[in-house]
Amino acid sequence: MSNAYKAPLADIGFVIDELAGLGAIAACPGFAAWDSATAQALLASGARFYEDVWAPSNRPADVSGARLVGGTVETHPALDDIYRQTMAGGWNVLPRAPGLGGEAVPWLIHAVFLELAASGNGSFALLTGLIAGASELLRAHASPDQLERYVSKLESGEWAGAMDLSEPGAGSDLGALTTRALPQPDGTYRLFGTKRYISWGDHEITRNIVHLVLARTPDAPPGTAGISCFIVPKYLVDDLGRIGARNDIRAFAVEQNMGFRASPTCVMTLGDEGGAMGYLVGAENAGMRIMFTMLNSNRLATALGALGISERARQAALAAAKMRVQGVPPGAPAGSAIVAHADVRRMLMTQRALCEAMRAICYCTAAAFDLAAHAADEATRVRHQQRANLLTPVAKAWCTDMGIEVTSLAIQLLGGAGFVEDSGVAQHFRDIRIMSIFEGTNGIQAQDLVGRKLGQAGGETVAALLAEIAALAASLNDDAALAPLGTALAGAVAKLREATAWMLAEGNGRSPAALAGASAYMRLFGGVLAGFMLARSAQAAKAEQATHGADFAAGKVATARFYCEQLLPYALAASGPAMAGPEAHFGIAEGAL
Measured at the CA of 492, the angle between CA 344 and CA 387, to 5 degrees, comes to 105
Ranges assigned E (strand) in 364-501: none
Coil vs helix vs strand at 565: helix
Cβ distance 68 to 413 under 8 Å? no
Cβ distance 338 to 327 under 8 Å? yes
Work out the end-to-end distance of the chain between its first and last CA atoms, rounded to an integer number of angstroms.
45
Phi first, then psi: what are they for 547, rounded to 5°?
A: -85, -45
d(CA 185, CA 527): 56
- Selection from 388, 393, 481, 438 nearest residue 122 by Cα: 438
Alpha carbon 415 to its chain centroid, in Å, reads 28
Exposure string of 505-514, with b = 16+ CB inside 10 Å and e = fewer, is ebebbebebb
d(CA 321, CA 339): 5
Find the helix or strand (DSSP H, E) in which 276 lies: strand 276-281
What single-letter amino acid sits at 26? Answer: A
DSSP for 180-215 reads: EEEE-TTS-EEEEEEEEEEET-S-SSSS-EEEEEEE
- Selection from 106, 424, 136, 516 nearest residue 292 by Cα: 136
Q: Which residues contact 275 (CB under 8 A, 6 or more apart)?
A: 182, 190, 191, 192, 248
Phi first, then psi: what are they for 250, rounded to 5°?
A: -145, 155
Cβ distance 522 to 513 under 8 Å? no
Coil vs helix vs strand at 280: strand
d(CA 277, CA 300): 32
Cβ distance 135 to 211 under 8 Å? no
Give the active site residue among 439, 498, 506, 544.
439
d(CA 500, CA 463): 9
d(CA 86, CA 120): 12
Does the active-site annotation cover 439? yes
Cβ distance 388 to 368 under 8 Å? yes
Cβ distance 357 to 530 under 8 Å? yes
d(CA 504, CA 111): 31
- Selection from 251, 150, 247, 250 nearest residue 190 by Cα: 247
Q: Could you give the residue ranges of the DSSP H alpha helices within 216-374? A: 287-291, 295-323, 342-374
DSSP for 56-91 reads: GGHHHHHHH--EEETTEEE--THHHHHHHHHHHTT-
The conformation of residue 328, written as its DSSP 8-state character, comes to -
- Active-site residues, by number, are 439
